[in-house]
Chain A
Amino acid sequence: MDRSILRGAFVLCALLVLTWFCAAPGRAEPAGRCIVFHAGSLTVPFAAMEKDFERQYPRVDVLREAGGSTKMARMISELNKPADIMASADFEVIDKTLIPGKARWNIRFATNQLVLCYTEKSRFAEEVNGDNWFEILGREGVSWGHSDPNLDPCGYRSLMVLQLAERYYKKPGLYERLLAARPKANIRPKSVELVALLKTGNMDYAWEYLSVAVQHGLNYITLPDEINLGNYHYDGFYKQASVKVTGKSPGTWITRRGKSCTYGVTLIQDAPNPEAAIAFLAFLLDPQKGLKILEDMGQPPFVPCRVAGQEMWQTLPRALQGFVEVKE
């Protein structure tokens, strides 16, 4: 009798301990630092997301680091800088630099488009519009710029817009003519850095993403979907534009073809804090939360977000699968 009570108590204890162990991971909420590397053009929406996310998960501290997407990816792949999440302005950067060594999947979550930004101080600010911008950029004394095509996707996309404009407006030679009028000094490593040049009156016009123009309160000219690289229905037309950018070593070149601006995000394989990272990704991909913030800031999201294939979808963390569909 005594022994069976003892045994019963023991089993009960064992069960209790077991359930506690099983329940523990579920109960423990994400905590600690979550390092997010992201494209410079995502800085403002990601800062807003950080605030909302940290309110929801007070024990997580989101540390963001912004820069040109290619550079940020290199920080991870070459310098082994610890990071949990990488969000790139061009989803292909993740495919090229991080998969398979540093990442396994690539979720496309937002789009953007190119606009021509200016301020009230810019030359011919009062007459510029959607029909004459390409003529004004070529005028004497007008200074305009774009970011470095070799370092920043926004840079080669700006050049592509000019090429597409030449076709769309049927102005042969426009691209060459405009580039000849743009001194090398007007190139900057990242497109966001051009904003400072516009605002200090050192430059009249600059190519930026729509989101950057909205977030920095710049005046801007929107372009037809056929040339703004913002609508993937026109990928067939965009494909006609091509820009030569530097390859893997100095003196080598690769060709980038026109394509709609598509943002990608991934979880880094050896992420120091995967729990917090997955929680942040779930927040980002949620149409009511992260994607809504993007929408409000001029960066149309994909609802739902997309991965390239069923196989990749299988490798996604459970918590994210619900937010993602398979679509080429």
Chain B
Amino acid sequence: MDMGKRPDLFRWLTVFSGSVILAFILLPLLEMMAQPSFEGLWQTLNQGNVRRAIWLSLYASGLAALISFVVGTPFAYLIARKNFLGKRFVESVVDLPIMIPHPVVGIAILSLAGRGHWLGQVMQDLGIRIMGSVTGIVVVLTFVGIPFYINSAKTGFESVPDRLEKVSRSLGASMSGTFLRITLPLAWRSLLAGMIMCMARAISEFGAVVIVAYHPMTAPVLIYERFTAYGLDYSQPVAVWLIVVSLLLFLLLRIISLPGRAKA
């Protein structure tokens, strides 16, 4: 009897904590989603600058996730597989963008891109502009998003047993062949999850973006501009659309990565 009761109590605890957390996340969001009228939502969607801003947000943060994938994957593999002096330090450096206040990120990136800095000079000579450009936005979003990708990819690579790679190598496959044919197929779900996290973090970024680029406007910047210029009635519908679009996108990506989990 007693034995049967205990897990029950625990199960209730898990259910309880789950509902508290869901309510905590959903209540404010639902409250906001319920405010705008259908008409307002429709009108908002028909405004060109709203669609452009949401598209820019998706596009720039998708690009940030892609860059993180390309640049971050080998590095994540290195951290997962090798032990080296100062590894803990390197891992902490990767996490830094999560902790730094957002406006500081924006100002730091701008000061590199300025005329007073040699890097800024080089970029100017090459015709690369950071301030007020899509390039600048992507740089900022990659900066804030990449830790999420690397951490997730690292965990993915760590979960692939070492010996599988060793078997492959002992059978004569090269290191890159092993990586592409053994490690990557086993870890890709973690990589995808990392890209989702990276993109999600990037979509929400406001503080750093608004310093580097006010125009062209990403969705969070447009929401801020609308709130300031017109008030809540005109900023909320944009927020609702951003949430709806992001939710659909992330749901889709999660579904892609789902069947594997069932098999495992």
B219 at the binding interface (Cβ < 8 Å): no
Check if B116 sits within 8 Å of A189, measured CB to CB. Answer: no
B138 at the binding interface (Cβ < 8 Å): no
Check if B107 sits within 8 Å of A188, measured CB to CB. Answer: no
Q: Which residues on A sit within 8 Å (CB–CB) of B47?
A: 250
Check if B132 sits within 8 Å of A74, measured CB to CB. Answer: no
Q: Which of B101-153 contact A (CB under 8 A)?
A: 107, 110-111, 113-117, 120, 129-133
Check if B110 sits within 8 Å of A74, measured CB to CB. Answer: no
Q: Which of B221-243 contact A (CB under 8 A)?
A: 224-234
Report the separation of the CA atoms of residues A71 and B47 in the bound assembly, to the nearest whole angstrom: 23
Within the complex, which residue of B107, B132, B214, B232 is in contact with A78, where a contact is CB–CB below 8 Å?
B232
Within the complex, which residue of B115, B213, B215, B216 is in contact with A201, where a contact is CB–CB below 8 Å?
B115
Q: Which of B205-264 contact A (CB under 8 A)?
A: 210-211, 213-216, 224-234
Check if A202 sits within 8 Å of B110, measured CB to CB. Answer: yes
Check if B210 sits within 8 Å of A189, measured CB to CB. Answer: yes
State how many angstroms separate the Cβ of B130 from the closest Cβ of chain A: 8
Check if B228 sits within 8 Å of A70, measured CB to CB. Answer: yes
Q: Which residues on A sit within 8 Å (CB–CB) of B111?
A: 200-201
Interface size on B, residues (CB 8 A): 32
Q: Which residues on A sit within 8 Å (CB–CB) of B130?
A: 202
Report the separation of the CA atoms of residues A197 and B132 in the bound assembly, to the nearest whole angstrom: 11
Report the separation of the CA atoms of residues A71 and B235 in the bound assembly, to the nearest whole angstrom: 13
Check if A202 sits within 8 Å of B215, measured CB to CB. Answer: no
Q: Which of A184-232 contact B (CB under 8 A)?
A: 184-189, 193, 196-197, 200-203
Within the complex, which residue of B115, B131, B225 is in contact with A185, where a contact is CB–CB below 8 Å?
B131
Check if B225 sits within 8 Å of A186, measured CB to CB. Answer: no
Check if A151 sits within 8 Å of B225, measured CB to CB. Answer: yes
Q: Decide yes or no: A187 and B230 within 8 Å by CB, A196-B110, A200-B114 being known contacts.
A: no
Within the complex, which residue of A79, A188, A200, A248 is in contact with B116, where a contact is CB–CB below 8 Å?
A200
Q: Decide yes or no: A189 and B115 within 8 Å by CB, A183-B132, A202-B131 being known contacts.
A: no
Q: Which residues of A contact B (CB under 8 A)?
A: 68, 70-71, 74, 78-79, 121, 148, 150-151, 183-189, 193, 196-197, 200-203, 246, 248-250
Closest 5 CB pairs of A and B: A185-B132, A201-B114, A201-B115, A201-B116, A200-B114
